[in-house]
Structure 1
Amino acid sequence: MRRQEQRRTFETIIGLVKKRNADFLLIAGDLLEHETASRSTAQWVIEQIRQIPKTCVLITPGNHDPLREDSFYKTLDWPSHVHIFGSDWEVLGYDEFSLRVFGKGFADYEEPESRFPAAPLPEKGERRIMLVHGTYSPYRADSPYFPLCDQDLLPLELDYVALGHIHQPSLHRLDNHRGTWICYPGSPESLRWKETGERTVTVGSFGMDGLSLERIAVQTRRYEVDQVDVQGCDTEDQLIRHILDKIPPGEERQACRRIYLCGRRPADLSLQGEWILSRLEEEGFHYVEVEDETFPDYDLDQIRKRDGLAGLFVRKMEERIDGANPEEADLLRQSLYKGLDALMVKGSRS
Structure 2
Amino acid sequence: MSISSACSCLPAAQIKANGIMKQKEVKPKEAAERLTRQDWYFVHTADLHLAGLADVTGCWQRVIKLCDQHQAQLLLIAGDLFENNQLVDQDMVRLLQLQAAGLPALQIFVAPGNHDPLTADSPYRRYTWPRQWQILGPAWAGFRLAEPAAEIWGAAFTAGSQEQPLLQPLPVSRQGQRLFRIGVLHADIPAAAGSPYNPLTAAEIAASGLDYLALGHHHNSDGRPRLAGSTTYAYAGSPEGHGFFESGAHGCLLGRVTGGRLVSLTRTDCGGLRYEALTVACTERDGRDMETLSRHILQQVRQAFPDLDLARLRLRVVLTGTQPLDRLSDSAVLAQYLAARGLARPQLIDRRHRPFQIEALAQDQSLAAYFACLALQRAAKLQQDGQAEEALRYQDMLELVWPLLRGGTLPPEEDDLV
TM bucket by the smaller chain? Answer: 0.7 to 0.9
Unaligned runs of 5+ in 2: 1-51, 365-369, 408-418
How far is 1:106 from its partner? 0.9
1:16 to 50, 53, 66: 66
| 39 and 324 in structure 1: CA distance in 2 versus 1, 3 angstrom threshold | same
Matches within 5 A, 1:178-197: 178=230, 180-197=231-248
Identity of aligned residues (%): 25
Q: Which residue of 2 aligns with 1:155?
A: 207
2:369 is equivalent to residue 317 of structure 1: no
Question: In the alignment, residue 40 of structure 1 is paired with which amino acid?
Answer: D
Q: Which residue of 2 aligns with 1:146?
A: 198
Q: Which residue of 2 aligns with 1:26?
A: 76
Q: Determine the C-alpha separation between the residues in 2 that align with 1:110 and 1:291.
A: 38
2:194 is equivalent to residue 132 of structure 1: no
Q: Determine the C-alpha separation between the residues in 2 that align with 1:181 and 1:25.
A: 17
Q: Which residue of 1 aligns with 2:395?
A: 333
| 294 and 142 in structure 1: CA distance in 2 versus 1, 3 angstrom threshold | farther
How far is 1:197 from its partner? 3.8
| 128 and 324 in structure 1: CA distance in 2 versus 1, 3 angstrom threshold | farther
Deviations 1:22-65 (A, max 9, x none): 22111112112313233211111111222222222111111111
| 192 and 334 in structure 1: CA distance in 2 versus 1, 3 angstrom threshold | same
* Structure 1 stretch displaced more, 203-212 or 259-268: 259-268
Secondary structure of 2:244's aligned partner: coil
| 18 and 90 in structure 1: CA distance in 2 versus 1, 3 angstrom threshold | same
| Aligned length in residues | 339
| 9 and 336 in structure 1: CA distance in 2 versus 1, 3 angstrom threshold | closer
Question: In the alignment, residue 318 of structure 2 is paired with which amino acid?
Answer: Y
Secondary structure of 1:260's aligned partner: strand
Q: Determine the C-alpha separation between the residues in 2 that align with 1:246 and 1:228.
A: 7
Deviations 1:139-174 (A, max 9, x none): 663322212221221111332211112222333544
Q: Determine the C-alpha separation between the residues in 2 that align with 1:94 and 1:204.
A: 17
Q: Determine the C-alpha separation between the residues in 2 that align with 1:68 and 1:112.
A: 16
Q: Determine the C-alpha separation between the residues in 2 that align with 1:204 and 1:214.
A: 7
Q: Determine the C-alpha separation between the residues in 2 that align with 1:54 and 1:79.
A: 13
Deviations 1:317-343 (A, max 9, x none): 344465255xx7764433244576788
| 96 and 254 in structure 1: CA distance in 2 versus 1, 3 angstrom threshold | closer
1:53 to 70, 87, 104: 104
Question: In the alignment, residue 187 of structure 2 is paired with which amino acid?
Answer: G
2:288 is equivalent to residue 235 of structure 1: yes
Runs of 4+ in 1 over 6 A off after TM superposition: 339-345
* Structure 1 stretch displaced more, 278-287 or 106-115: 278-287
| 10 and 146 in structure 1: CA distance in 2 versus 1, 3 angstrom threshold | same
| 296 and 338 in structure 1: CA distance in 2 versus 1, 3 angstrom threshold | same
Q: Name the TM-score, length of structure 1 as normaliser.
A: 0.82
| 116 and 282 in structure 1: CA distance in 2 versus 1, 3 angstrom threshold | closer
Q: Determine the C-alpha separation between the residues in 2 that align with 1:58 and 1:43.
A: 17
Question: In the alignment, residue 338 of structure 2 is paired with which amino acid?
Answer: L
2:271 is equivalent to residue 271 of structure 1: no
Q: Which residue of 2 aligns with 1:244?
A: 298
Higher relative contact order (CA 8 A, sep 6+): 2
